[in-house]
């Protein structure tokens, strides 16, 4: 057993938290980009896009994130692609996030009254102009809460990346716990770090919602 003071535990977890934050941001931003492209394909009525995007969403929403991580890491390895735990975790979480974000944003756009689309069409606006000037601003107010709420889920979901060897908060906590034989203390500190990461985001989301509501 190795002797760790509380400051030692917190210091090591703080270092690991950097990788949790980095993975969360990469997954969220990458997932947002892919999700936006999928949403655009659906709204633009590209041939087969609606059915293809629907199957994509059902695939990633209907299977556990843990299994997706295993497939990204071990599945690509079996195909001869030597990927690191970081690459596999980033890929799996990006695809997972994109499936949820495209559905969240589609629902927010669908919540805008149909008459707004008709008004934009009557003015001769293109799809891009309609989204930028008419539909997008209204959908944004609806999208803030579920989008930020999903970001919190992504942060917590990074804990599953520990199963493929990615060293983030949970994996580091497990390693320290095994070394110190103090699981309660260690994982209480891990939970505290997750709270410190997620709570400010939730609070900022509520403030942004109120600001957008006042602007409306």
The radius of gyration of the chain from alpha carbons, rounded to an integer in Å, stands at 21
Dist CA 155 CA 161 (whole Å): 11
48: part of which helix (H) or strand (E)?
Answer: none
Is residue 152 within 8 A of residue 199, CB to CB? The reply is no
Q: 9-66, pLDDT tens digit by residue?
A: 999 999 999 999 999 999 999 999 999 999 999 998 888 888 999 999 999 999 999 9
Looking from the CA of 176 toward its CB, the CA atoms found within 13 Å total 30
Q: 59-104, pLDDT tens digit by residue?
A: 999 999 999 999 999 988 888 888 899 999 999 999 999 999 999 9
Query: Domains along the chain?
Result: 6-215 (1.10.3720.10)
pLDDT value at position 28? Answer: 96
Out of 7-11, 22-26, 146-150, 175-179, give the one with best mean pLDDT.
22-26
Dist CA 33 CA 109 (whole Å): 17
Determine the number of helices (DSSP H) and then strands (DSSP E) in the chain.
10, 0
């Amino acid at each position: 057993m190795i002797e760790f003071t509380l400051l030692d535990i917190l210091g090591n977890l703080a270092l690991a938290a950097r990788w949790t934050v980095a993975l969360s941001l990469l997954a969220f931003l990458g997932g947002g980009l892919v999700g936006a492209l999928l949403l655009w394909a659906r709204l633009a009525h590209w041939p087969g896009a609606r059915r293809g995007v629907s199957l994509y969403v059902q695939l990633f929403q209907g299977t556990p994130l843990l299994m997706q991580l295993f497939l990204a890491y071990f599945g690509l390895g079996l195909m001869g692609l030597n990927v690191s735990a970081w690459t596999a975790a980033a890929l799996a979480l990006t695809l997972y996030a994109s499936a949820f974000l495209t559905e969240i944003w589609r629902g927010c756009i669908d919540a805008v009254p149909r008459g707004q689309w008709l008004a934009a069409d009557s003015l001769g606006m293109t799809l891009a102009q309609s989204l930028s000037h008419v539909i997008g601003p209204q959908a944004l107010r609806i999208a803030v809460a579920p989008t930020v709420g999903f970001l919190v889920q992504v942060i917590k979901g990074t804990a599953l990346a520990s199963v493929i060897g990615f060293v983030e908060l949970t994996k580091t906590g497990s390693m320290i716990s095994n070394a110190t034989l103090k699981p309660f203390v260690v994982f209480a500190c891990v939970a505290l770090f997750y709270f410190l990461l997620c709570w400010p985001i939730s609070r900022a989301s509520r403030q942004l919602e109120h600001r957008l509501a006042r602007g409306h």
